Structure 1
C-alpha cells in the first residue's frame, strides 16, 4: 500500500506532481505483473468485484465477474488526473443519470465507447494505485485528486 513512512518524511504519489505527460511509475509496488482483485468504490452491495492487470502508467485490463474484459489506455488515466487535479468531484457512476461534473460524466463525454459505469472501475484503480483518495457523501462516492505542484 502506498502511504507515509512517518520516520523518513517521504512523499506519497498523492503529493508528487502529476501532469498529463509525466505520471509517476509505481514500479516499486510491482502493480503490473500479477492481476489484482479490487472492488468498485460503491458501498455494500453497490460495489462490484473485479480483477485488473497493468497500471495507470501502462494501461489497464479489467476482468469482471463473468469473464468480460475491457481495456483502458494510459491516456485516459493521464487526462483524467490532469483534468481533476486539486479537485473533489462526485463519482457519478449511474448509467442513466450520472452526477453533473463527476468522473462518470467526464469519461462518457470524452470517450464515446465508455459509460459512467466504466468510470467506476477507472476510479477504483486510481484509488488503489494512490493517484486519488475517496470518501462517501450520502450514498455517493467523492474522489479527491491532489493538486499539481
Structure 2
C-alpha cells in the first residue's frame, strides 16, 4: 500500500464515528487480514455519500478483465449507520454456508458473490476472511475450486 493510500485510509478511519455496530472494527480486521497476505496491493477509492472501497489485487493476477480479487466496500449512504459489503468474482470463491448473495454483474460488470457485514460477529468475519484468502489464492493462480 502506498503511503498516500495508507494516510487516506487512516484519516477516514479516524473520522469514522461508529454507531455501536462495530463496523469500523470489522473493516479494520478485514483490512489487516488483507495486509497479511503475500503479493497483494491495496487501493482506496473514496466516493463520499456512496462508498469507500478497499480493493485488493494480487501481483500474479493475469486476467486483464479482472484488476482485483476482492472489494471491501464501506456503504456510506447513511454515514451514521455504515456497513460493509465484501464482494468477489462469483467464480473465485466458494460459499459452503450459503452466507453470501449472488449479484449478477455486481462486481465491475461481472457476476459477484457479496457478503454483508452489518455488525461484529466473530464467526461471520472469520468466514469472510476465509473467502478473502480463497480469492487471493485463486488470483495468484491457485485453484478456484
- Whether TM-score is above 0.5 comes out as no
The two structures have a TM-score, normalised by structure 2, of 0.31
Q: Return the structure number with greater helix share.
A: 2
The two structures have a TM-score, normalised by structure 1, of 0.30
